[in-house]
Structure 1
Amino acid sequence: MGTSVTISAATDQDAEQILKLQYLCYQSEAALYDDYGIEPLTQTLDALRAELAEGCVVVARLGGEVVGSVRGTVDADGTAKIAKLIVHPRMQRHGLGGRLLDAVERRLADERSAKRYRLFTGHRSEVSLRLYRSHGYVPVGTVPRPRALTEVTLEKELVPAGVSVAGA
């Protein structure tokens, strides 16, 4: 491709590109569950800008184009909620999703004192489930949702630097 992908904090100037990419990326998810009213497809630009201002949003750029993004927040007990991990379809299966996940985890720990990470995905979203499991997330619960969707919640504890993990 000639240009390498860089990962950095998102800015307000990235909002429109993130929203367009989000809309593109969530089409397959909507088709999987036959539900085109899911929040990522109905989110407004103003709502996304509010997330940029309040949360931790990381983007992957290929030149000037946003080709991936992920968001996170941390609540009072130190639980980081990670959401909307997206990678442009032409950039998938090259490790970019994992790089974005690692980057947002680092930022949430370093800048917002995260102690554990939590995210969710649909039960039919095998690619996402495989990615999250490969990064140490374990399923901790399920919640039935409309349209035959079961939301799977996954968590991972933060492992402090210098601490070895048994079996790793």
Structure 2
Amino acid sequence: MGMSVTISAAAAEDAEQILKLQYLAFQREAELYGNYLIQPLTQSLDSLKAELAADTVLVARLGGEVVGTVRGNVDGDGTGRIAKLCVHPRLQGHGLGARLLRAVEEALAGHDGTVRFRLHSGHRSESNLRLYRKAGYLAVGGRTASDGVQLVILEKDAKDPTEFAVSA
């Protein structure tokens, strides 16, 4: 009767679905801040395609529909940078965001030299901040994004990927 959601690497042909999902999922954030110029809403398809080619981009699928996505990369100092975690509004609150977060952490931990994970969220985004705290992230600072939104920067130490399977 019901289908299960699967998480896998995104393919180039997923770009348009990812961009549409991102636009839909970040509407609530834009409303929360009264700012519809936040980066996830203004990102171009070409910019997203470049991220697909260069970064780790995962998608959650329900049948053929992309219902969640997250991306990340590991920088030169061993920081796994995680960005644009989003879940279709109709599926939020069912643990899919946490599954995507664990999956991208596991993928980034597979890179040589990954020592920590870092991500950010708007300071008013309580549900996002709650998810990240529950996943072991701690606030380590803040900054103002180019769109004017106050961001909370969160980090946690990278762990052995086998630990992710145990906590899943």
CA RMSD of aligned residues (A): 1.7
The match for 2:104 is 104
The match for 2:155 is 155
**Runs (5+) with no aligned partner, structure 2:** 164-168
SS of the equivalent of 2:156 reads strand
The match for 2:45 is 45
In the alignment, is the contact (CA less than 8 A) between 1:74 and 1:112 conserved in 2? no
Residues in 2 aligned to 1:57 and 1:140: alpha-carbon distance in whole angstroms: 25
**Runs (5+) with no aligned partner, structure 1:** 164-168
Alignment TM-score, normalising by the size of structure 2: 0.91
Residue 111 of structure 1, CA deviation: 3.9
**Percent of aligned pairs sharing the same letter:** 61
In the alignment, is the contact (CA less than 8 A) between 1:33 and 1:148 conserved in 2? no
* Aligned residue-pair number: 163
Residues in 2 aligned to 1:109 and 1:42: alpha-carbon distance in whole angstroms: 29
The match for 2:126 is 126
Alignment TM-score, normalising by the size of structure 1: 0.91
Q: What residue identity is the alignment partner of 2:22?
A: Q
Residues in 1 aligned to 2:71 and 2:161: alpha-carbon distance in whole angstroms: 23
SS of the equivalent of 1:108 reads helix
In the alignment, is the contact (CA less than 8 A) between 2:117 and 2:156 conserved in 1? yes
In structure 2, the CA distance between the partners of 1:148 and 1:56, relative to structure 1 (3 Å rule), is closer
Q: What residue identity is the alignment partner of 2:130?
A: R
Residue 161 of structure 1, CA deviation: 5.6
The match for 2:68 is 68
Residue 147 of structure 1, CA deviation: 7.4
In structure 2, the CA distance between the partners of 1:18 and 1:161, relative to structure 1 (3 Å rule), is closer
SS of the equivalent of 1:117 reads strand
